[in-house]
Amino acid sequence: MNFDDTPEEAAFRAEVRAWIDANAPKHLDAALSEAGFGISPTGFDFRTEARAWQKKKFDAGWACMQWPREYGGQALPPIHQVIWQQEEGIYSSLSRLFGIAHGIVGPTIIRHGSDEQKAAHLPRMANGEESWCQLFSEPAAGSDLAGLRTRAQQEGSDWVINGQKIWTSYAQYSDWGMLITRTDPTVAKHRGLTMFLLDMRSPGVEVRPIKQANGQSGFNEVFFNDVRIPDSRRIGGVNDGWNVAMTMLMNERLVIGLGMPTGFEDIFDLCSNLQTADGPAIDDPTIASKLATWAARSSGLKYTVFRSLSALSRGETPGPENSIGKLVAGSTQQEIAMFALDLQAQSGALVDPAMAAASARFQAMLMRSPGTRIEGGTDEIQRNIIAERVLGLPADIRVDKDLPFNQIPTSARR
Amino acid sequence: MNLEFSDQQLQLKNEARRFLEDKCPPQAVRAILDGAAPFDRALWKALGEMGFLGVAIPEAYGGMGAGYLELCVVAEEMGRALAPVPFSSSVFLASEFLMLAGSESQKQTYLPRLASGETIGTFAFVEGQGQVTPQSVRTRATGDRLTGSKLPVPDGDIADFAIVAARTGAGADEQSISLFLVDLNADGITRTPVNTVDPTRSHARIEFASAAAQPLGPSGEGWSIITRILDRAAVLTAFEQVGGADRALEMGRDYALERMAFGRPIGSFQAIKHMLADMYVQATLARSNAYYGAWALSTGAAELPEAAATARVSATQAFLHCAKNNIQVHGGMGFTWAFDCHLYYRRANLLAVNLGGLSQWERLLISRLRRRNAA
C-alpha cells in the first residue's frame, strides 16, 4: 500500500503540472474559485474560454489521452487522464463543457459509430470544436428512461423528430447532442428506440433554460418541432437505441470523478470558528459527534475513490461500486447544510453572501443538494444499481416490460 | 497510487479464510456460546501452529516477521468468522504493548510464547462505568506490588498475564499512570468470570491484593503508551469489524434471495434491496477507511492518530448497522437463538465498546483533526 505514483506516473504528473502552470488561463482564477455548489462561474464567456482551454490542451497532446491516436488521442492508459484531472484544479470547471463528449459520447461513437461518424466527430471533440450533450430524460421518462416519448419517423432518407427532452445539462452550450427517440411504439418499450447524432443548430431545435428551485439555470428543456436528421446520423441499428444507451450509461459510471465534495471541510471550519456561549461550537460533544460521522463518511469516499484509482492504475476496470459516490455525497451535503443553518440560528435564513456566514455557501448548498440527490440517477436508482449489480438481488418486477409501448397505462386513474 | 493489498497479502487472507472455514465454522462459535468452555482451545492451538498469532511479531522473537498489513488481513478473517478466541487481547494488545514498551528480557520471555499461543496475554485497563481517564484509574502500585480491581477485563479469566494500567502518582494527570506486567497465576490475584453481551468472548473481574508486578516501560509514561497502543488496536479491530460487517451483509443478501413472501423472493422488494444497499455503502466506506488506517499503521505515518480514529468510527458504525439490519432482513427468524444473526449483533456491540465507546472515538477524531488543522 502506498499513495505514491509509479515513477512513470510521477514523471507524467510533473510534466503536466509544469505545463498547466505555464499555460493555464490565470486571468480567470478569481472567477473560477468563487464558483461551486451549483453556482456557475460568472464574469466571462464560458463557452469561449472553455473552447480556448481545450484547444490549447489538444495542441499540446493532453486531450482525450485514452482514445486511439487516429481519433485525436494518445492511446494512454486511463490513469493518465485521472492524473491530469487531479492537476487541473479550478480549470477543470472549464473542461466540464467537454465532459459528456470525452467521457460518454466519444467512447460510445468509438463502439457503435460508423467510420464516417468517427472521423467527423472524434477529432473535433478532442480539439474543443464540438461540445456535446445527452438528450435522454423527458418530462414523463426520468428514472424510467425507456418510457420516453420523443418520436422519430422516417421520411425518405431523413428522420423527423417531434417531442421534448428535459434536464439536459450543457444543452445551451452544445454543438451536438446524442438523442434517443421512439421509432416503434407498437413493441415493448426498450425495443422501439433509436439513437441519433443531432446537430443542435438544426431548424426546429429550441433550448430553454430551466429555472431551478435554487434560482440557478444549469439544466435545460429541449424541444423538437419537425427536426430533420439524415439517416447517416443514426448511430446503431433502427430500434437498437437501448443497446447504445446502455453503452453510454456504462461509460458514465466509468467516469471516475475525484470524489464529489460532501461539505465536511466547510462545516468543520464553520464549527471551529463559530463562537457560542460555551466557547467554539466544535467543543460541544454533540456537535463533535455529528462532525465525526461526516468526517468518516467523507474520508471513506475519498479512499474508496483511491481504491478505484488503484484498480485503474493496475489496468483493471472499476465496476458499478462507484455508484456510492453521489449517493453518499448528495445526502451528506444536504445534512451538513441543514445543520449549518441550525448553528447560525436566525441568521441561518440569510442568503446574501455579504451577510451570511461563510459567504452563504451553506445556503447555496442547502438549495442545490436536493438536485444532487436526483440528477444522474436518483438516490433510489443508485440503491437499485448497488442492490442488483453489486449484490445480485433480483431486478424490480416491471409490469410494463412486455407490453407494447402504446398499451402501457399512462394515468393512475382508471 | 496503490491502496490495495498485495497478491501475497491476499493469499495470506485466503489461507486464513480457508483455515477458519474449516476450524471455526458457526458450530464452533455456538459451542462456546452454549457450552461451559470460555474459548475454543483447539482453534487457539491451531492458530498458533499456523503462525497466525505471531504475524507481526519479528522472527527474532518467534513470530512470522511479516507486518501490520498481513495482520490486518488476518484480523478481517477472524472478525468474519467470529473466532471465539483471545486474539484481540493477546495479539492486538499484549503483544503490541511488549513490542512498543517491553524491555529486551520481557520481549525474549513473552513474545515467543505469545506467538505460539502457549501464553495468552491481555490488557487490564477499565475499572468502572464510563470512559477511562487517568483519574478513573484507581489501582495503585506500591513498589512492585499492585492493589485494586479491574472490570471488565477481556479474557481476564483465561489469560496468563496482563498488562495493567496502575497509578504511580497521586494526580489526575496522565503522568500519574504507569504500566505493569502481572502474572495472573500468582498470589494476590482473584479472577471472577463475568457475563457480557457477547458470551463467545470471555471476560472477567480481576482483583489485585498486593500482587507482584514488574514495570513495563518507564514510570509515568503509561498513558502515552496506552494511547499509542489503542490507536494500533483501533485499526486492527476495524478490520475485525469490517470482516463481521461484510459477513452480516452477505447473510442478509443470501436470506433475501431465498426467503419467499407474497409469491416472490423478499430480495426483490425495494424496501429490502435499499436496506441491503445501505449496508453495502456503510461496509464499503468502513473498508476504505480501514485501508487508510492500515497504510498509516504499516508505514508509521504521522497521520496514524486521525487515521485510526477514522477507521474506528467508520468500522464501528458499519458493523452495528449491518448486524442490526441483518436481523431486520431475516424477520422473525433473525430473532431466534437458532439463527446466527444475533451472534453478529452481539459481536458488533461488544467491539463497539471494547476500546472505548463510539462517542468517545468521535470526540477523539474531531480533536485530532483540529490539531492537524492547527499544525
In this predicted structure, what is the pLDDT of residue A86? 87
Q: Chain B residue closest to A291 (CA)?
A: B366
Pick the residue with more confidence: A224 or A409?
A: A224
Exposed / middle / buried, residue B34 (Cβ in 10 Å: 0-12, 13-18, 19+): exposed
Q: Using DSSP bridges, classify how beta strands A158-169 and A219-230 pair: parallel, antiparallel or unpaired.
A: antiparallel
Q: What is the arithmetic mean of pLDDT over B219-242?
A: 98
Give the separation between CA B284 and CA B315, rounded to whole angstroms: 10
Q: What is the arithmetic mean of pLDDT over B96-116?
A: 98
In this predicted structure, what is the pLDDT of residue A81? 85
Q: Which of A205, A211, A208 is nearest to A220 (CA)?
A: A208
In this predicted structure, what is the pLDDT of residue A414? 56
Give the separation between CA B229 and CA A78, rounded to whole angstroms: 40
Between the ranges A216-220, A279-283, B310-314, where is the mean pLDDT highest? B310-314
Radius of gyration of chain A (CA): 23
In this predicted structure, what is the pLDDT of residue A397? 84
Sign of torsion over alpha carbons B318, B319, B324, B325: positive
Contact A171, A133 (CB under 8 A): yes
What's the whole-number average pLDDT of chain B? 97
In this predicted structure, what is the pLDDT of residue B82? 98
- Whether the CB of A390 is below 8 Å from some CB of chain B: the reply is yes
In this predicted structure, what is the pLDDT of residue A317? 72
The yes-or-no verdict on residue A145 having pLDDT over 90 is: yes
Note whether A386 contacts B277, CB cutoff 8 Å.
yes
Note whether A393 contacts B1, CB cutoff 8 Å.
no
Q: What is the arithmetic mean of pLDDT over B158-165?
A: 98
Q: Cell 433509436 belongs to which residue? A: A194
Chain A residue numbers touching B314 (CB-CB < 8 A): 296-297, 299-300
Q: Which of A238, A246, A121, A234 is nearest to A183 (CA)?
A: A238
Size of interface A-B (CB pairs under 8 A): 159
- Whether the CB of A380 is below 8 Å from some CB of chain B: the reply is yes
The yes-or-no verdict on residue A309 having pLDDT over 90 is: no
The string of DSSP letters for B44-58 reads HHHHHHHTGGGTTS-
Q: What is the arithmetic mean of pLDDT over A333-338?
A: 98
For residue B94, give the DSSP letter: I
Judged by average pLDDT, the poorest of A25-34, A166-175, A254-263, B317-326 is: A254-263
Helices (H) and strands (E) in chain B, counts: 12, 10
Chain A residue numbers touching B259 (CB-CB < 8 A): none
Over residues B62-104, the pLDDT tens digits come to 999 999 999 999 999 999 999 999 999 999 999 999 999 999 9
Chain B residue numbers touching A319 (CB-CB < 8 A): none
In this predicted structure, what is the pLDDT of residue A36? 65
Helices (H) and strands (E) in chain A, counts: 14, 10
Note whether A310 contacts B2, CB cutoff 8 Å.
yes
CATH number of A134-244: 2.40.110.10
The rounded percent of chain A whose pLDDT value lies above 90 is 73
Please give the helix or strand (H or E) that residue B326 lies within, else none: helix B304-330
- Contacts of residue B314, Cβ cutoff 8 Å, sequence gap at least 6: A296, A297, A299, A300, B238, B285, B286, B289, B290
Note whether A299 contacts B363, CB cutoff 8 Å.
no
Q: B98 to chain A nearest CA, in Å?
A: 26
Q: B9 to chain A nearest CA, in Å?
A: 11
Judged by average pLDDT, the poorest of A174-178, A246-250, A255-259 is: A255-259
Give the separation between CA A290 and CA A303, rounded to whole angstroms: 20
The yes-or-no verdict on residue A95 having pLDDT over 70 is: yes
Note whether B310 contacts A327, CB cutoff 8 Å.
no
Residue type, A50: A
Give the separation between CA A45 and CA A94, rounded to whole angstroms: 11
ipTM: 0.95
**Reported confidence tier of residue A321, pLDDT bands at 50, 70, 90:** low
Give the separation between CA A252 and CA A105, rounded to whole angstroms: 9
Best probe of the B interface among A382, A393, A401, by most B CBs < 10 A, is A393
C-alpha cell at A309: 484509482
Q: Chain B residue closest to A313 (CA)?
A: B1
Over residues B336-355, the pLDDT tens digits come to 999 999 999 999 999 999 99
Q: What is the arithmetic mean of pLDDT over B157-173?
A: 96
Please give the helix or strand (H or E) that residue A226 lies within, else none: strand A219-230
pTM of the model: 0.94
In this predicted structure, what is the pLDDT of residue A374? 93
Over residues B191-212, the pLDDT tens digits come to 999 999 999 999 999 999 999 9
In this predicted structure, what is the pLDDT of residue A37? 64
Fold of A256-377: Butyryl-CoA Dehydrogenase, subunit A; domain 3 (1.20.140)
In this structure, what are the phi and psi dihedrals at residue A165, rounded to the nearest 5 degrees?
-115, 165
Domains (range + CATH), chain B: 7-119 (1.10.540.10), 122-220 (2.40.110.10), 223-374 (1.20.140.10)
**Catalytic residue status for A316:** no
- Whether the CB of A301 is below 8 Å from some CB of chain B: the reply is yes
- Contacts of residue B304, Cβ cutoff 8 Å, sequence gap at least 6: B231, B235, B293, B296, B297
Judged by average pLDDT, the poorest of A68-77, A334-343, B44-53, B306-315 is: A68-77
- Whether the CB of A381 is below 8 Å from some CB of chain B: the reply is no
Q: What is the arithmetic mean of pLDDT over A280-302?
A: 95
Which positions 1-60 of A are in contact with B (Cβ < 8 Å)? 1-5, 9
Of how many residues is chain B composed? 375
Note whether B270 contacts A380, CB cutoff 8 Å.
yes
Best probe of the A interface among B281, B282, B295, B358, by most A CBs < 10 A, is B281
Over residues A3-45, the pLDDT tens digits come to 778 898 899 999 999 999 999 999 999 888 877 666 677 788 9
- Whether the CB of A306 is below 8 Å from some CB of chain B: the reply is yes
C-alpha cell at A36: 461551486
- Whether the CB of A303 is below 8 Å from some CB of chain B: the reply is yes
In this predicted structure, what is the pLDDT of residue A312? 76
Q: Chain B residue closest to A379 (CA)?
A: B274
Q: Chain A residue closest to B250 (CA)?
A: A391
Note whether A390 contacts B2, CB cutoff 8 Å.
no
Note whether A297 contacts B369, CB cutoff 8 Å.
no
Domain parsing of chain A, residue ranges: 7-130, 134-244, 256-377
In this predicted structure, what is the pLDDT of residue A39? 66
In this predicted structure, what is the pLDDT of residue A257? 56
Note whether B273 contacts A390, CB cutoff 8 Å.
no
The yes-or-no verdict on residue B35 having pLDDT over 90 is: yes
Chain B residue numbers touching A401 (CB-CB < 8 A): none
- Give, in words, the CATH class of A7-130: mainly alpha
- Contacts of residue B60, Cβ cutoff 8 Å, sequence gap at least 6: none
Q: A396 to chain B nearest CA, in Å?
A: 6
The string of DSSP letters for A121-183 reads HHHHHHTTS--EEEE--BTTBSSSGGG---EEEEETTEEEEEEEEEEEETGGG-SEEEEEEES
Note whether B295 contacts A1, CB cutoff 8 Å.
yes
- Whether the CB of A387 is below 8 Å from some CB of chain B: the reply is yes
In this predicted structure, what is the pLDDT of residue A258? 60
Note whether B277 contacts A396, CB cutoff 8 Å.
no
Which one from A252, A321, A380, A388 is the annotated catalytic residue? Answer: A252
Exposed / middle / buried, residue A243 (Cβ in 10 Å: 0-12, 13-18, 19+): middle
Q: B75 to chain A nearest CA, in Å?
A: 17
Note whether B281 contacts A324, CB cutoff 8 Å.
yes
Q: Chain B residue closest to A392 (CA)?
A: B253
Note whether A383 contacts B277, CB cutoff 8 Å.
yes
Q: A259 to chain B nearest CA, in Å?
A: 13
